[in-house]
Amino acid sequence: MEKLIVIKIGGNIIDDAEKLSSFLADFAKVEGKKILIHGGGKLATKLAADLGVAQQMVDGRRITDAETLKIVTMVYAGYINKNVVVQLQANGCNAIGLSGADGNLIQAHKRNHATINYGFVGDVDAVNATLIDSLLQQNLSVVIAPITQDGNGQLLNTNADTIAQEIAKAMGSLYAVELIYSFEKSGVLLNANDDSSVIPSINPATYIDLKAQNVIFAGMIPKLDNAFAALNSGVSKVIIGKAEQLQQLIAGTSGTVISQ
């Protein structure tokens, strides 16, 4: 089975023009078929402040009201997505940028939570693997923004980590998929303030222990939940690590490997 690398790039790298440029130069050099999923970084929050649109966050997740949905769609599916694509083109990597609304790429439903109204936040129902495969077969690198749609004309804001997992799962019947979560840290850390304290591998049992000890908490929990969900659905490998070490992550010589 041909290998496919699915890479999610974290918001903190998106926010740093120099780091993003360096990462995209490295991504362009990755051989074979590849998909890049990006988050939104702080630009949406800044634009919302400039426009006087109050923002609410619950456990690191953005409450998306109607005005915020306009902002995140403009920023994620517009400026950030096209900025990433044009930099890849400049590095000799032919790329196409899409949101979940394009080509019916990602269909989702509005989140229904018992106690929290997340607004126009989407949970993924289906990924159009056939469309993605047709683009990959044309030697295009696919760059995906975390905006989805419900099939009835409604755009939805969806967590980029989750989109990366769902796309990796959907492509697993066609390719040997490796999923990489790349961000500003060197991996999953024993000490959140010590970037050298990387945990080299985590399996379900160690994950339970590390959560119980409060070593793993906050934003790292949904990232790891997504990693294990991907493995349970046929993704061959999941690695979490530093964006600046992309080649080493792919080679398996840095970061945290998530295993069964």
Span 170-208, pLDDT tens digits: 999 999 999 999 999 999 999 888 999 999 999 999 999
Cα 137 to the chain's mean position, in Å?
A: 22
Question: Given a cut of 90, is residue 223 above it in pLDDT?
Answer: no
**Over residues 158-171, mean pLDDT:** 95
**Over residues 120-140, mean pLDDT:** 98
User: Sign (positive/negative) of CA torsion 185, 27, 39, 157?
Assistant: negative
CATH architecture of 3-184: 3-Layer(aba) Sandwich (3.40)
SS3 237: strand
What gap in Å lies between CA 240 and CA 256, rounded to an integer? 5
State the pLDDT at residue 26.
Answer: 97
What gap in Å lies between CA 126 and CA 106, rounded to an integer? 6
What's the whole-model pTM score? 0.94
Contact 162, 115 (CB under 8 A): no
CA angle 185, 75, 142 (to 5 degrees): 70
Which residues, listed in sequence order, are joined to residue 225 by a DSSP beta bridge?
none
The overall average pLDDT reported for the chain is: 94
Nearest to 181 by CA among 251, 93, 246: 246
